[in-house]
Amino acid sequence: MKSIRAKIITSYIMITIFSIIVAGGVFNTAFKSYLERISLKNLEQDLITLTNLYRADIVERLKNDPELLNTPLEILTHELRKINRFGMESAGGVVIKDLKGKLRAYAFKKDDNVMIQKYLNDMKFSNEIERFKISHQNSTYLMISRPIKSVSLKSNDSGNVARVWLVMYLSINEINSVQKSILVIFLFAFLISIVIIIPYGIYSANRISKPVVRLNRRASLFVERDFDTKIKITTGDEIEKLANTMNHIADELKSYDIAQKKFIQNASHELKTPLMSIQGYAEGIKDGVFEDENKALDIIISESQRLKKLVEDIIYLSKLETMEEIYRFEPCSINDALYEGISRVESLAYKNNIKILPLLAKDTVLRLDKDKFIQAIINILGNCLRYAHSEITVTSSKNEDCIKIVIIDDGEGFDEKELNNVFKRFYKGKQGNTGLGMSITKVIIEKLGGSITVANSDNGGATFTICMNYKN
């Protein structure tokens, strides 16, 4: 398996090389295009300058003797070399065509006559500046033409009118040479960049991979149930956040591990007590110790039922925490659920001379598991009924985020230790039963997308506050 360090180095170098190559190619193409464009522009400016300088001279000579084309050509070529801006090999000449487009005369540098003549017949010179690009013997030329004036040819075709064009051309071999020089410089810079990039890529890969390796080692300690070892990474980025998250996970796992152990210990203790009672009374009956065996049997039945209830609560709590499929979400009227929860404990309240007063806001429908929500309300009301003196109030209200349900009894309330342990498993108050009822309530409310807190009211009784979010 390829290490993350090797992957980072390889990816970094490949991306960098690719970027440099693409940037170099784009620059090379753009630079060549720029040189050609600027060369054409300068050729055009030179052509305009020479046309203005030699318009009269060339036309006057041609009017009298077209055979004198070579004379102005020498002057024109000399001037052309003087104004050449780039020092590139540019040249020019004169072309005469009649009105039918037939080539009548031309004059260029002697070496270029053969090359130029091949293209002159096909070129469509107009009354405006024209631009051409021609290739000859593996060379490319940029060519510009501009009309000077119409003249009458004095020859066998006397009286025919022809047009005189001044033509300038430039071999772009020089442009290619400049481009090649730039390419050599680019390749040299590319090699230098590679020499710099590789060590920097290794350095960057180490900075990224070393913390990841440390995180991997730390994660492997979870298998060994080592939750105390901390990892400190100060990279100032997401890896540092991941390390902090992993430390937090370790703390949570440690807390969960401790809670599980305590749960097993508490469950064993809670299960052990009724079992020992059942065993003791059963052995007493067997040995004939009890005079009233029916009473002993009643105790065995009572302890068996308590044991059964405890086991059922443990199994139910485990399912609530681990099995999402046991929840059946559907539209539920909050007020209907509260009234039903109150009706379930109303007989017990009547028996203890306790009034349950519902003070509910306008009804709201939420998506939740109605049966489990009612079970949570019953558990809270049952807890309040054990401690209330005469009254329990159930109120509801709405705000922007949630529906708030507050259940208050007029009992003595909780002491500080009890407030911190109300929702812990197997924690039983003064009149508690299995110690799982409030744990089950907390799990149900949170699984339904709400939250529950407990506090003492201003009058001293217990206050349970449930917030059921609209988005659950």
CA atoms 77, 78, 80, 81: torsion sign: positive
When computed from its CA atoms, the radius of gyration of the chain, rounded to whole angstroms, is 50
Give the pLDDT of residue 70: 44
d(CA 305, CA 433): 12
Domain 327-469 in the same topology as domain 238-322: no
Using the predicted structure, report yes or no on whether residue 99 has a pLDDT greater than 60: yes
CA atoms 310, 311, 313, 317: torsion sign: positive
**In the predicted model, what is the mean pLDDT of residues 387-412?**
88
**In the predicted model, what is the mean pLDDT of residues 110-125?**
62
Give the pLDDT of residue 339: 92
| The length of the chain, given as a count of residues | 472
- What φ, ψ does residue 161 adopt, rounded to 5°? -95, 135
Q: Specify the pTM.
A: 0.48
Q: Which residue has the higher pLDDT, 91 or 60?
A: 91
Give the β-pairing of 139-152 and 130-136.
antiparallel
Q: Which residue has the higher pLDDT, 10 or 5?
A: 10
**In the predicted model, what is the mean pLDDT of residues 379-398?**
89
Residue carrying the six token digits 């190619």: 25
pLDDT digits (tens, 9 = 90+) for 318-331: 777 777 778 888 99
Question: How does residue 234 score in pLDDT terms, banded at 50, 70 and 90?
Answer: confident
User: Mean pLDDT over all residues of the chain?
Assistant: 76
Sheet of strand 90-98: strand arrangement: 103-107, 90-98, 161-171, 139-152, 130-136
Give the pLDDT of residue 159: 47
pLDDT digits (tens, 9 = 90+) for 287-297: 777 777 788 88
Give the pLDDT of residue 394: 92
Dmax (CA) of the chain? 160
Q: Which CATH architecture has domain 238-322?
A: Orthogonal Bundle (1.10)
d(CA 326, CA 271): 26
Specify the range with the lowest mean pLDDT, choosing from 383-392, 405-414, 415-424: 415-424
Give the pLDDT of residue 158: 45
Cα separation of the two ends of the chain: 43
Helices 4-64 + 173-223 axis angle, to 10: 170
Long-range CB contacts for residues 70-77, cutoff 8 Å, separation at least 24: 70/107, 72/107, 73/107, 73/108, 73/109, 76/50, 76/166, 77/109
Q: Which residue has the higher pLDDT, 75 or 408?
A: 408
Residue carrying the six token digits 């000077």: 148
**In the predicted model, what is the mean pLDDT of residues 66-85?**
48
User: Contact, 450 vs 414, CB < 8 A?
Assistant: no
Using the predicted structure, report yes or no on whether residue 307 has a pLDDT greater than 70: yes
pLDDT digits (tens, 9 = 90+) for 10-49: 777 788 778 878 887 888 788 778 877 887 788 787 777 7
User: Contact, 107 vs 164, CB < 8 A?
Assistant: no
Using the predicted structure, report yes or no on whether residue 439 has a pLDDT greater than 80: yes
pLDDT digits (tens, 9 = 90+) for 134-162: 777 777 777 788 777 655 555 444 445 66
Give the pLDDT of residue 72: 46
d(CA 333, CA 364): 6
Of the ranges 14-23, 84-93, 241-250, 368-377, the best mean pLDDT one = 368-377
Question: How does residue 80 score in pLDDT terms, banded at 50, 70 and 90?
Answer: very low
CATH 2.40.50.180, domain 327-469, yes or no: no
**Neighbour tally for 219: CB within 10 Å:** 13
d(CA 202, CA 53): 65
Of the ranges 2-16, 73-87, 314-328, 354-368, the best mean pLDDT one = 354-368
Cβ partners under 8 Å of residue 314, min gap 6 = 267, 436
Residue type, 457: S
Cβ partners under 8 Å of residue 11, min gap 6 = none
Using the predicted structure, report yes or no on whether residue 461 has a pLDDT greater than 80: yes
Question: How does residue 269 score in pLDDT terms, banded at 50, 70 and 90?
Answer: low
By the 10 Å C-beta count (0-12 exposed, 13-18 middle, 19+ buried), 90 is classed as buried
Question: How does residue 78 score in pLDDT terms, banded at 50, 70 and 90?
Answer: low
By the 10 Å C-beta count (0-12 exposed, 13-18 middle, 19+ buried), 335 is classed as middle
Domains of the chain by residue range: 4-179, 238-322, 327-469
